[in-house]
Structure 1
Amino acid sequence: MYEVGDLIVYGRTGICEVTEITTLKMDGVPKDKLYYILRPVREKHGKVFTPVDNEKIVMRKVISKEEAEELIREIPQIEGLWIGSEKQREEKYKECMKSCKCAEWVRIIKTLYQRKMSRLKQGKKITATDERYLRMAEGNLYSELSIALGIPESGMEAYITNQINETEEPVLC
């Protein structure tokens, strides 16, 4: 169970702060059922009510600084997605986003970046679906890493790139 003040990842909503743990005084709601009242960090006045025992939506604590640093070190080894057909593409993206796992968001980002570069070489633009999922995956990943590392979200892409470039071994010819 989370505590008031905890930052958690709550499904597609993203990072939320637990502002209250309470029962709800509403018709049809059991009087003894506990609910989290969550405030999405990107919406100052937003509120989400969810049962403490909700098993339909992924809820987990934001990763620690150490876990964030480890994830960034592992990014070069994380493989993109291999998707056999266009019909399966969006389903695979949805599945990865729903998992609420940082490594899955990295897989989407890597896949869509490579796909975007390939399409640009062919004189084509990125598809609207690809653009939407790229923004969602980057937003979720960068906001979580930003909180874990204490770095502004706007600088996260540059930070990750610098960290990867610093840790890569020079190739000897």
Structure 2
Amino acid sequence: MFKVNDYVAYNSTGVYKIIDIRKEKDTGNNDIEYYVLEPAYNNNMIIKTPVNNPKVLMRNIMTKEDVLSLIANMPETETIWTDDDRYRNQSFKAALRTGQSEEWVKIIKTLYLVKKGKLNVGKKLMKTDEDIMKAAERNLHEEFAMALHISPDEVLPYILDHVQVN
């Protein structure tokens, strides 16, 4: 169980701070315990979710050591491109929903390389691919920023400074 002031990765929507844990009555007059969450980098909403909700993916954010290890392994991270637009969109969305940073890195690396190749011939990524890449980057940058004690805007330069390209 998480505690008040813990930071967690919540579903595939970013990093949240647990600001309260409270019991409330549900419609059947049963006591239900809830986490009250506030986005770490965008304080304009509050989320309340049952502590024991199996449909909600909530996990501890990565440690600095985990982040540095993931960055070190980025050059070897496999890409997951497929030319079938519909299948690719579904598989990328499913990977995004896993809430796993390693999956977000695969998406970002794949789409970054494809985008770079398309730009070289005067083309762009499809909007759906661009949107998925932005969502994966936002999630990854928020989690890395929290673990590294930097702002999300500093994450990409940090990664580029620390990744070893062979």
User: TM-score range with shorter-chain normalisation?
Assistant: over 0.9
Aligned Cα RMSD in Å? 1.6
Deviation readout 1:146-166 (Å, 9 max, x if unpaired):
11011221111111111114x
Q: Distance in 1 between matches of 2:46 and 2:31?
A: 21
Shift of 1:50: 0.6
Tell me what 2:2 maps to.
Answer: 2
For 1:146, the aligned partner's letter is: A
Q: Identity of aligned pairs, percent? A: 34
Q: Within the alignment, does 1:109 sit opposite 2:115 as a pair?
A: no
Question: Given the superposition, is the C-alpha separation of residues 29 and 112 from structure 1 closer, same or farther in structure 2, using an over 3 Å criterion?
Answer: farther
Q: Which runs of 5+ in 2 are unaligned?
A: none
For 1:135-150, list aligned pairs within 5 A. Answer: 135-150=134-149
Letter in 1 for 2:84: S
Which secondary structure state, in structure 2, belongs to the residue aligned with residue 24 of structure 1? strand
The reply on whether 1:82 has 2:81 as its aligned counterpart is yes
Q: Secondary structure at the match of 2:31?
A: coil
Q: Which runs of 4+ in 1 moved over 2 A?
A: none
Equivalent residues of 1:6, 1:18 under 8 A apart: yes
2:63 is matched with 64
TM-score of the superposition, structure 1-length normalised? Answer: 0.89
Which one has the largest radius of gyration?
A: 1
1:162 maps to 161
CA drift of 1:30 comes to 4.3
**Number of aligned pairs?**
166
SS state at 2:124 partner: coil
TM-score normalised according to structure 2 size? 0.93
**For the residues of structure 2 that align with 1:136 and 1:65, how far apart are their CA atoms?**
22
